[in-house]
Amino acid sequence: MRQSETITMVIGSQQLRTLWRARPRYPRVVKAIILDYGAGNLRSVARAVEHGGFDCDISDHPASLDDATAVILPGVGAAADTMASLHERRLAEPIREYITSGRPFLGVCMGLQALMSYSEEGGRHECLDVIPGSVVRFPAGLKIPQMGWNTIDVEIEHPVLKDIPGGEYFYFLHGYYAQPEDENVVAASSEYGVRFPAIVIRDNIVATQFHPEKSGAAGLRLYRNFLTEAARSLSVPV
């Protein structure tokens, strides 16, 4: 049996059903907004948030960020399409303003890469430039994209990584990866031909290259940790 098949069995449907029944429930103190810019996979993210005991709204309206207390930017696809959609829906500048306000922000996959200064995917494309750095392609000779389970090595201690040990498996799907200029923002790394950032954390920003909503119990735990910290930032007992 392949390792990935074993992992799938370990975090199989029965365990997820058990986790769902045991999930905590919090009052609607955290207004979590999942941003919709046409990239799909939104319902999976919403279910992961709800599993953690939090409510959320899916929105493509810039005004929804005004009173949001936590924002999640998920995503799949190419940098050019992502940035074009963010600008078309007038979300790019509100995202920058939201992050500058200090409120909790979680980027997932393209939601991480979009935070960099620019991407080299399909030519140079300017990104949000929230975290100085670039997005580059995996070296030649590797099967692209990286698709499937891979382990992470935790580099720092952080509340969002509570009960997520080094060596934990997460689900990746990407052909490019982020290269932040400041290596200190890399909270966890992984390896696929080269070592690359799996999780980036800076101040109120958390961003993952993998898809937590596709990563079983460990991914659900990461969403719950992120939103629990968002609640704590509001001085709400959790």
Check whether 234 has a pLDDT greater than 90.
Answer: no
CA atoms of 44 and 136, how far apart (whole Å): 27
Q: Are 135 and 127 in contact (CB under 8 A)?
A: yes
Instruction: Return d(Cα 219, Cα 191) in angstroms, integer.
Output: 18
Active site annotation includes 61: no
Q: Which of 51, 109, 155, 168 is catalytic?
A: 109
Could you give the count of Cα atoms lying within 13 Å of 76 in the half-sphere of its Cβ? 16
**Average pLDDT rounded to a whole number, residues 190-203:** 98
pLDDT band, residue 221 (cuts 50/70/90): very high
Of the candidates 51, 125, 174, 211, the residue annotated as catalytic is: 211
Tell me the pLDDT tens digit for each residue of 149-193: 999 999 999 999 999 999 999 999 999 999 999 999 999 999 999
Phi, psi of 212 (to 5 degrees): -60, -35
> Could you tell me how many residues make up the chain?
238
Respond yes or no: is residue 109 known to be catalytic: yes
- Distances in Å between the alpha carbon of 164 and those of 42, 152, 201? 24, 10, 15
| Helix-, strand-, coil-residue percentages of the chain, each rounded to 5 | 35, 25, 40
What is the pLDDT confidence band of residue 10, given thresholds at 50, 70 and 90? very low
Tell me how far CA of residue 231 lies from CA of 30, 73, 182, 210, in angstroms: 6, 18, 28, 24
pLDDT at 75 (0 to 100): 84
**9 versus 139: which is more confidently predicted?**
139
